[in-house]
Amino acid sequence: MDRSSFAVGSPFLDALSPAQRTVYGDAPFETTTVAFDALDPASYDLLWWHQEEPLAITDTLSGCRGALRSFLRAGGGLLLTGRALSAVATLGIDAVPPDAVGVDGEATGPLPKARYTDHPLFSGFETRPFTAESAPFARYERILPERGELLAATARDGGDAYGQLPVVVWRIGEGAVLGIGSFVSAGEAFSDARNRLLSNAVDCLATPGRLPRRALTGPALAELRAEFADDHHRPTYHLTAPANWLNDPNGLLRWNGRYHVFYQYNPGGPHHGTIHWGHASSADLVRWRDEPVALTPSPNGPDRDGCWSGCAVDDDGTPTLVYTGGRERRQLPCLATSDDPALRTWEKYEANPVIELPPEEPPLLSTEHWETEFRDHALWREGDTWHHLIGSGTDAGTGVVLHYTGTDLDTWEYEGPVLVGEPEEGHMWECPELLGFADRDLLHVSNYDEVRYFIGSFEDDGRFERESTGLLDHGDFYAPQSLVDGDRYLTWGWLPEARGAAEQWDAGWSGCLSVPRELSVEGGELRQRPAPELEALRGQCHEFDLSVEPGTETELPVRGRSLELAAEIALDDADSVEIAPLASPDGEERTTIRYTGDELLIDRHRSGGPGTVEEPVVAPAEDLEDPLTLRAFVDGSVVELFANERRCLTGRVYPVGGSDRLLVSADGGSAHVSIAVWSLGSIW
């Protein structure tokens, strides 16, 4: 672009500050300074406002709103650097301004999201460049813009900050607004890099169509998903978000012949924060499609800081979401309803929240993040009465499930605790859920480390009498939720990453859901089976019947990273049997499923990948019948096991590449292994 023919106006309030004189004067393109009260946007191709001093919102700024929006709709560009980004609400660009303003005391620079590393805005930079030292900033941290797309986080000399998001773009009509709320200052340090960033910004705004729009709708999400199709760590038949962050499954519902899975979603990047509700649906549990984001935080609502976990119910023909709204240090339940048969649009209840305060008894846990830990909702109806469970912890250091009842969904009466845990069962219980079976009930909770279940009975007085306890899954599995599907429960859980924040950021996505599981209680014991619908994904079956001798290793003539294995393992006189999927051609890299008779484990110390967890995940197996029947779902970075339908074990692994072999061996003696292997197709 010939910047000499591109008219750039650089406005200021009251008078030019020394910092503005320096930054505008040192810019790698010509600018014309002009006071805001004399600004005519139509006289310029681009406006660039830089502000380092604390910003005072004035009537002059508000008065520019109409002319500025006309300028943008007609194809103009606006660049906001430093604290000028704080004016987006006043200028009518976004209802949510940055929530963090200050001065960084170290070298910083833009850290592009994975999909934007090759964007022209960051052309000519290293992966983690520094463009300023001690730069004033305005950025999004606890909240996100209502309409803007985040392009980059903050690279720091002292360590990257993935939740500090100062680079935002808004597309308005034919034009665009680009906010770079940090990385630009009058200091001399990194001035060449600063000017490169400014040059790139002007080049992008000269052609606004080069700047992305926020992806919250179905078609845009499908395009976003396609950008990660070549990532061999990306699961193909486990549910994932199109990009960015996924955690708890929420709002599971079958409606108008389709299964709907909502989930905790952060469009700001592959890190936890400012939670929305993502959405996917399927007619058959086999083929899925991305739906528009269902819930976004309301700028002035009780969920401004996040739409946290909850559930979905059918309220006499009205699909209703019950979710936790977060604002500042308060968490309270909120409602949203839909009259859309496809559940793509939702309307929040105008009187949210539907419970104003947590109960006083028992005294509940308070932390630095929340006045009271009071979140996550499970509802069911008996006759005319709704039952409502909420997760919390007591100030005595035990988890607790709280119980409310009501005849409608916006008026609740507190009934007391359903169950109070023991100290060793976790100090905070999230995501409670109660499932009723023929002769037993099952209550499960998530305590930050594990998903603990209790088998017993939910009594008429609202208390749960426990008989036994255990873990739903002994590995990387958390916050499950279920839906009633005819005469069965289908359950999904969150499979969190087992690699570091840097690796997640560089990948551009984080988290997936388990395969759908059928849960039941039979003879007082929990049973878990993969949903039989998954069999529709199977390709050709390869069957092997092996007598495995010690000291030998058999490579099966099957390759793939998206496999299902069904094995029967008889140890005979062997100490252990190992099945190793995701093995490299030389066998050095591998993920080992090891069965010893006493335990079943996923050994990942040779699974590969930088920044990943190498500790094994282990489940006890001494009480499982012999021979062991094993279903294994291997999918990119997921190994999900079902042992004798009684024990589940899930591990996340990250082979470096080319690791698609399948090996079988025994140690200490001979064993017999019968195994069937299928390649599984994509669910998308």
Looking at the annotation, which residues are catalytic? 248
Dihedral sign for Cα atoms in the order 616, 619, 625, 631: negative
As a whole number of angstroms, the distance between CA 633 and CA 531 comes to 12
What is the full DSSP assignment across 350-367?
TT--SS-S--SSSPBP--
CA 264 from centre of chain? 6
As a whole number of angstroms, the distance between CA 287 and CA 237 comes to 9
Q: Are residues 476 and 496 in contact, defined by beta-carbon separation less than 8 angstroms?
A: yes
Using the 8-state DSSP alphabet, how is residue 624 labeled? S
CA 573 from centre of chain? 45
Residue 318 pairs in a beta bridge with 315
Q: Which two tokens stand for residue 35?
A: 């006071």
136 phi and psi angles, rounded to 5 deg: -65, 150
Counting Cα atoms < 13 Å in the Cβ hemisphere of 570 gives 7
Q: Are residues 513 and 274 in contact, defined by beta-carbon separation less than 8 angstroms?
A: no
Residue type, 218: G
As a whole number of angstroms, the distance between CA 479 and CA 491 comes to 10
Residue type, 661: R
- Residue position matching structure tokens 């009466």: 413
Q: Evaluate the omega torsion of the peptide bond into residue 480 and state whether it is cis, within 30 degrees of 0.
A: no
What is the full DSSP assignment across 421-436?
--GGG-S--EEEEEEE
As a whole number of angstroms, the distance between CA 166 and CA 310 comes to 30
Give the helix/strand (H/E) hosting 467: strand 464-471
- Residue position matching structure tokens 């100090």: 427
Q: Are residues 296 and 216 in contact, defined by beta-carbon separation less than 8 angstroms?
A: yes
CA 251 from centre of chain? 15
The CA-based angle 111-112-118, given to 5 degrees, is 135
Residue 154 pairs in a beta bridge with 110, 161
Alpha helices by DSSP H, listed for 175-248, are 191-206, 218-226
As a whole number of angstroms, the distance between CA 459 and CA 284 comes to 36
As a whole number of angstroms, the distance between CA 310 and CA 607 comes to 35
- Residue position matching structure tokens 């500025």: 68
As a whole number of angstroms, the distance between CA 508 and CA 505 comes to 5
Q: Which two tokens stand for residue 451?
A: 């998903």
- Residue position matching structure tokens 């279920």: 482
**Local structure of 147: helix, strand or coil:** coil
**Local structure of 378: helix, strand or coil:** strand
Closest CA relative to residue 606, chosen from 623, 587, 624, 619: 587
- What count of other Cβ atoms lies within 10 Å of the Cβ of residue 260? 21
As a whole number of angstroms, the distance between CA 277 and CA 66 comes to 33
Instruction: Give first-to-last CA distance, the chain, whole Å.
Output: 40
Dmax over Cα atoms in the chain, in whole Å? 90
As a whole number of angstroms, the distance between CA 103 and CA 641 comes to 49
